Structure 1
Amino acid sequence: MAQAKEGDRVKVHYTGRLDDGTVFDSSECEDDGCGCGHGPLDFTIGAGQVIPGFDKGVMGLAVGESKTVHIPVEEAYGERIEEMVAVVPRSELPADMTPEVGQQLEVTQEDGQAFQVMITDVNDETITIDANHPLAGQALNFDIRLVEIL
């Protein structure tokens, strides 16, 4: 039976959990038929489409096989970088904007490159934005099932 290897395009079902057991993402819904699952993840192993630890976790699986992998911070989204957190005066926001904690914004740098940030604090004078990935600084655990090698 063929095993997934670097360069293969694959489809996998997965459930991602933090070390405390909190589920942060899943391709399958526990309540069949509710439509909330987004279906199997389709990617090419080694192409940089998923975090490095996920790539490694899929390699060697045969279609129908499952396993649980623990992905350390450095093979997931990396450490949190405090320099990626900024406090911005509310006067720099559009006048019609009502910022809320948890809201995502697109910020454009002087060179024209855009990136996503999340508002993590709001007060009368400032907002705090964080450009770290929400899972930065976290080790991740995935239950992975190889559905297909394309």
Structure 2
Amino acid sequence: MTQAQIGANSTVLFHFDITLTDGSAAESTRVHNKPARLQMGDNSISPAFEAHLMGMTEGSKKTFTLDPQDAYGMPNPDNIYYVDRSKFSSDAPAKVGSIIGFTMPDGSELPGLVRDVVGDSVTVDFNHPLAGQTLTFNVEIVKVS
């Protein structure tokens, strides 16, 4: 029996590890043993990432590196906001390096990284934490359907 190959409309269950150019670990689905699910062609990841997965089969492994524009994109200056310190609570204080969930007008939550605190002005960065980074992905295909 031949194994299903990843094609344009496949649903893929896979593990991945992401490392930065200095070799440090950035993210991994193996930590909690929860593989990622991807519907090929739904634009949830970059075409370059999908291209690397095409043709892979269950159990196969691959390592590849993507430039920032093919991974999480470049940081967008429009995603940096200045928020009044009074908007923060004792549960989520304005501390540099903190990642805080902000409720959007549509009710969804968006994580923001506190970059700077000056007086009552807090600089919050809503860019993906891996934006602007060249990343190496180590993927292992769990299931293709």
Q: Name the TM tier (shorter chain).
A: 0.7 to 0.9
Q: Aligned to 2:142, what secondary structure does the other structure show? A: strand
Does residue 65 of the first structure (1) align with residue 60 of the second (2)?
yes
Rate the CA distance shift 1:95–1:22 in 2: closer, same or farther, 3 A. closer
The runs of 5 or more residues in structure 1 that have no matched partner are 29-35
Rate the CA distance shift 1:14–1:22 in 2: closer, same or farther, 3 A. same
Greater mean alpha carbon deviation, residues 99-108 or residues 56-65: 99-108
Fraction of identical pairs, as percent: 27
Tell me by how many angstroms 1:53 deviates: 3.1
Q: Aligned to 1:15, what secondary structure does the other structure show? A: strand
Cα distance in 2 between the residues matched to 1:18 and 1:126? 31
Q: Structure 1 segments of 4 or more deviating over 4 A?
A: 94-97
Instruction: Please give the residue correspondences for 1:1-150 in structure 2 after superposition, counting only pairs within 5 Å.
Output: 1=2, 2-28=4-30, 36-91=31-86, 93=87, 98-101=93-96, 102-108=98-104, 112-113=105-106, 115-150=110-145
Rate the CA distance shift 1:90–1:57 in 2: closer, same or farther, 3 A. same
Q: Contact 2:58–2:142 (CA<8 Å) still a contact in 1? A: yes
Cα distance in 2 between the residues matched to 1:95 and 1:23? 31
Cα distance in 1 between the residues matched to 2:24 and 2:100? 22
Cα distance in 1 between the residues matched to 2:58 and 2:15? 11
Tell me by how many angstroms 1:136 deviates: 0.9
The runs of 5 or more residues in structure 2 that have no matched partner are none
RMSD of aligned C-alpha atoms? 2.1
Tell me by how many angstroms 1:95 deviates: 6.4
Q: Contact 2:13–2:142 (CA<8 Å) still a contact in 1? A: yes
Q: Contact 2:20–2:134 (CA<8 Å) still a contact in 1? A: yes
Deviations 1:39-89 (A, max 9, x none): 221221121233433322211112221111111211111111223223333
Cα distance in 2 between the residues matched to 1:23 and 1:94? 30
Tell me by how many angstroms 1:104 deviates: 1.5
Q: Contact 1:52–1:76 (CA<8 Å) still a contact in 2? A: no
Aligned residues: 139
Tell me by how many angstroms 1:37 deviates: 2.1
